[in-house]
A and B are shown apart, each in its own frame.
Chain A
């Protein structure tokens, strides 16, 4: 999909909470030998999807250097809303000084909720309806104790502010492609606390099918091949899936590594690909091209081709980088982890 007028990223920001738990520490409790990642991020006691979204969006605003009141749309994609009924986007918009003359909505599509926000923000900007649009992907992912997801379900946020492409934008969106089907690979029924998944079924017919078709659809539409991209970042539920998808699409390790953070922060669901993209923007040079592909169970993928612009050099240092958050770590043991994730009832 291409827009009638080019849309760019005028600000971006990420947030990763300070706490980590080693996958081996979780494995120790359940007598498991093989673990899928090194460690994952865990929220502090006073953090949730709203507070993490605020910090990521504040970082995006610092880089954008715009008046928050000029933002006409806030789309917050998450599957871990603090309130079952009451939008999170209005709280984030209020904290950032964007209210009251703005659209605000929470979006849901498992781990694709963040890029679903990005897609609609691109359209809002391209149509001229709004000057700036803020899209956030955030999650405090929960896995059932002893389930395979417990090793990887992490916490994080990333935010992107879009505007019409200009010399002020840090990168621009060359095109996008969305690919969705009805696929029951992962779900959670209303009122249930933990999600269900279909094990092996999550790979081939879910993750790979959608990621690869969205990426291929985009590359065909733009007439680009893997070697035309300097970087590729994919949704990362573990380390193996994105590496396999990359290989099948013809990408090498050098293109994939900068955006692959799952080993250090886990699967941050709606934020996963978007934090990886932020890490790439933290280091990319003007003129470089990035392929970014999300995946959400249920299922679908959004693929974007993004070209870095000159303005990035002067503005990326205006806010903390992904590396700053990766470098700040405090390890929890399993008991402390249970408290942080609210799995121990205090009253």
Chain B
């Protein structure tokens, strides 16, 4: 088993829709969502839909993947700074590793994250791909 089915289900809003939280005391935004602000320690956080576009701030190539990700390796994991400044750690997709660059424009897409074997559930979530031209 990759992850418990109930946990995957509870977390689907932020996994599916790039929903984070915003600290109403200091204005910082977090993804994945946090209940307590790690900076100002406020508990006054609300859910917020984050923008789906951003740039790659830094990245690393995963060659020895954790269980469930074997078929994607080697793949790139990037810190993406969204248009509102929120930083998101996510896998890059639709890209050759030689094409990954710091500063490249990316956009969020909904993809399969991993599968629990051939019988378990399919986990879906957000990844980022190079921004499509023309819109």
**Known interface pairs A55-B109, A95-B17, A319-B135; A45-B122 also in contact (CB < 8 Å):** no
In B83-135, the 8 Å CB interface with A consists of 93-94, 96, 109-113, 122, 124, 127, 132-135
- A40 contacts the other chain (CB 8 A): no
A45 to B71 alpha-carbon distance, docked (Å):
8
A54 to B17 alpha-carbon distance, docked (Å):
11
In A295-344, the 8 Å CB interface with B consists of 317-321, 323-325, 327-328, 330, 339
Q: Are B132 and A47 in contact (CB under 8 A)?
A: no
**CB-defined contacts of B16 to chain A, threshold 8 Å:** 94-95
- A175 contacts the other chain (CB 8 A): no
**CB-defined contacts of B113 to chain A, threshold 8 Å:** 46
**CB-defined contacts of B17 to chain A, threshold 8 Å:** 95, 97
- A83 contacts the other chain (CB 8 A): yes
- A50 contacts the other chain (CB 8 A): yes
Q: Are B112 and A46 in contact (CB under 8 A)?
A: yes
* Residue in B12, B72, B132, B133 whose CB lies within 8 Å of A46: B72
Q: Are A18 and B124 in contact (CB under 8 A)?
A: no
Q: Are B12 and A82 in contact (CB under 8 A)?
A: no
**CB-defined contacts of A46 to chain B, threshold 8 Å:** 72, 93, 111-113, 127
**CB-defined contacts of B110 to chain A, threshold 8 Å:** 51, 54-55, 58, 95
- A288 contacts the other chain (CB 8 A): no
In the complex, what's the smallest C-beta–C-beta distance from A298 to chain B, in angstroms? 28
- B11 contacts the other chain (CB 8 A): no
A97 to B12 alpha-carbon distance, docked (Å):
11
- A48 contacts the other chain (CB 8 A): yes
In the complex, what's the smallest C-beta–C-beta distance from A345 to chain B, in angstroms? 10
A44 to B71 alpha-carbon distance, docked (Å):
11
A28 to B2 alpha-carbon distance, docked (Å):
40
* Residue in B12, B93, B96, B135 whose CB lies within 8 Å of A317: B135
- For the A-B complex with A48-B112, A82-B122, A325-B132 known, give 10 more contacts whose Cβ atoms are closer than 8 Å: A44-B111, A45-B72, A46-B111, A50-B124, A51-B111, A95-B110, A97-B17, A320-B132, A320-B135, A347-B70
- 6 nearest A-B residue pairs (beta carbon): A324-B134, A46-B111, A95-B16, A46-B112, A54-B110, A320-B135
